[in-house]
Amino acid sequence: MFKKLNIVILIILLIIPIICNNVYAEVDDDEVNYNDIVFDENDLEVSAEPVEEPAISSRAAVVIDRKTGLVLYGKNSNDVRKMASTTKIMTAIVVLENTTDLSEIVTVSKKAASVGGSVLGLRSNDKISINDLLYGLMLKSGNDTAIALAEAVGGSVEGFAELMNNKAQELGLENTHFVTPHGLDSEEHYTTAYELAKLANYALDNEKFLEIVGTKNYTVTASGRSINVSNGNELLGYFGGVYGVKTGFTNGANRCLVTACKRGDIDVISVVLGADTKTIRTKDSINILNYVFKNFEYTDLESLIEKAYIDWEKTNFVEVIKGQNLYLNLKMGSVKYPEVFLKQNEEDNININFECINILEAPVYENTKVGEIRVLMGDEEFFTVDILVDRTVDKKNIYDNLYEIMKGIKNYCNNLG
């Protein structure tokens, strides 16, 4: 009997760590003390010397230019991965876009109060404003706040997930899917580094979201209790120009970090997913940001397009049949991105192609589109510029035709003379 008892005890001892790991490994990385991350002061400075593309340890990463959405650096950036608490970027933006009054008071459910992982410390039946829930969500990364917000805005976690997926579809995030508002591991809850960067870029255009993710410290009030929260983003306030966005950690996702950083006119978003440690995700983020700031510069793309257009226009014409003028006067439409952030000395990677109609029948009206300028980065189309009619060309009337006949007779007579 004692032998059987010993076997049972041994099994229990083996199972307990597994159970604990499955529960507590879901504690979001935001709640771990970041004081153990050591910053090298040299990493915080930007030198004029170009640096080579970094070899990073995170499993996936990307840096995009906020102005154009162009990818400036990527590693497995389109691979589908779990995203942990970076999920809460979508949670926050869905709440902000579906709430008219952020001062509205929410009653915390038992489900929200009992959720595992990182929490703000809400209790069942607590009264708290949506505004304070958002700060608890993005600074403290509270899973309890995520559930409370989902229930308040979507009616349920499932209803809120539907809103999240509708928003993802609206933003063209084809490889992103949400199941929960907090991001605890699920096979049906995923994104890519690139699409997460696109989502963050969209969210940062919301002034309230921008304000929240850039806040270092905030005091939340729940049923009269004051709860002080600090932003878990280790780069905020440490690495020059960082103004957001979100960290995350689960066993399945590993360490994740989405960072918005602006220096002068340069405004970028970096994402690292699947880092094994906090230090790695921090260092990888610093390395790819430094790589971009030291190697890329803005190129006057509008001037390059205008020059190409002038050269093209010299040898290309649009004939007008039955028009009062034989040829159309043309002009360029507006350029979507007058400047583009390119790696130094890589203007040759820009290709500009022209497509245009050769013949039209009058009348042809001002601002009619007759062609387009295709701007490509390498072989991939970046955007197009319309080729437009500069002024209206009316159809010939009877007097125009009579004039042409008389002019022809006069020319014939002159040639005879």
- DSSP 3-state assignment of 278? helix
Residue environment code for 146-163, b if the CB has 16+ CB neighbours within 10 A, otherwise e = bbbbbbbbbeebeebbeb
Q: Which of 88, 140, 246, 283 is labelled catalytic?
A: 88
Distances (CA, A) of 361 to 223, 320, 331, 401: 74, 5, 19, 16
Distances (CA, A) of 196 to 28, 170, 282, 291: 18, 14, 17, 20
Half-sphere exposure of 221 (CA within 13 A, CB side): 5
- Of 30, 32, 12, 9, residue with least CA distance to 20: 12
- DSSP string of 80-113? -B--GGGGHHHHHHHHHHT-S-TT-EEEPPHHHH
How long is the chain?
417
Q: Which of 57, 58, 141, 285 is labelled catalytic?
A: 141
Half-sphere exposure of 217 (CA within 13 A, CB side): 3
In whole angstroms, give the CA distance from residue 231 to residue 55: 28
Q: Which of 85, 109, 118, 270 is labelled catalytic?
A: 85
85 in catalytic set: yes
- Tokens 């199972």 locate to 15
- Of 94, 105, 98, 153, residue with least CA distance to 129: 105
186 in catalytic set: no
114 in catalytic set: no
Burial class (CB within 10 angstroms; exposed 0-12, middle 13-18, buried 19+) of 282: buried
Hey, which residues are catalytic here? 85, 88, 141
